Amino acid sequence: MGARMLTNVKHAVGRYIANAVLPNGLYCFNYHRIGEASLTEYDPNVFSCDEANFSEHMEYIKQHFTIITLDDISIILNGKIRDKRYALITFDDGYIDNYTKAFPILLENKISATFFLATNFMNNAEIPWWDRIAYLVRHAQVDEIKLNNWPDSITLSKEDVPTSIRKVLDVVKINNGSTIEEILIELEQKLQIPDSKLMDQEPLFMTWDMAREMSAAGMEFGSQTCSHRIMSHLRIEEQDYEAKTSKELIEKELNTSIKAFAYPVGGKDSFTPETVKIIKKYYQISFSFISGINTSKNLDEFCIERISVDSNCNATQLSHKLLKLLLRKVHKSVWK
């Protein structure tokens, strides 16, 4: 048996096992960008997969899950979460390729997805802080960087730019007392960027007209704040402003009611109990970026876990990821 055939058999067996043992519950598949990560001047790590793999994912999810919309969530959370294997498709940030590449595939498969928008970026009003940082790291004139509040320096590799970008962003996401604006200024200085003006490229984010077209076609929308700054890094008044203002603007532009929120960055340290209190004032549910399968009948509807789709995985690899999440969940419950 050739190596390629053996690999195909292993993938098929792994996919079969995953589909056979995955429990009923709510699976929230989360995407960011769709396209070729190698072609961007900005952060390649926010690319979930290319169009071919996204299309394959949708076919796989249609085959093995009951796909739902935000309107179904309240019913499912009301004691029915274990009735079926449910899938919710979500997108964060509102990149333009969500419209140009993902939207046609969703229509072709008759799937409604939920898009969480950071309103400051709509109509390409501004480039987000993580993409600005990625651009600066990509064009760095030094081999090492350490900002004032960082505990250690980071080595920058020209041979592996995506990893260098990820390392810098991982440190930035830790609240070290500096604002994003202060970090950007310091990075520009210490990376010795010859021209701090970002390249004039194709628009990064969708327009309100695109979002209106998607909404009319059955896509749903939620908020991911105005600026996509990490909520736990902000004062209470700033968090309230971000949650309230973004909701009001999306509702005005799309002429629809917004009930769902996704925490920017979304890890366990990116929002606090105070953040949740604010979100409860304006929204019915909210989503984290904590990785997991939602199976508990006592699920916290303001910390719904999601499954990050990344690394340009194919459908078989996605099924393996689900199996690993299940094994981790079982392991945690056994050792509680």
Partners of 88 in the beta sheet? 28
* pLDDT on residue 293: 94
pTM of structure: 0.92
> Hey, what's the torsion of the CAs at 303, 305, 308, 314, to 10 degrees?
-160
3 pLDDT tier (thresholds 50, 70, 90): low
* Centroid of chain to Cα 304: 13
CB atoms within 10 A of CB 75: 12
Give the start-to-end residue ranges of the domains of the chain: 3-127+200-334, 129-190
Query: 208-216 and 236-254 helices cross at what angle (nearest 10)?
Result: 60
- Half-sphere exposure of residue 263, counting CA atoms within 13 Å on the CB side? 33
Average pLDDT over the chain, rounded to an integer? 90
3-127+200-334 classified as CATH 3.20.20.370: yes
What distance in Å separates the CA atoms of residue 71 and residue 107, rounded to the nearest whole number?
Answer: 18
Evaluate if residue 79 carries a pLDDT over 90: no
* pLDDT on residue 261: 98
* pLDDT on residue 14: 66
User: Which of 146, 231, 155, 245 shows the shortest CA–CA distance to 190?
Assistant: 146
pLDDT digit string, tens, across residues 122-159? 997 688 999 999 999 998 888 888 888 788 888 998 88
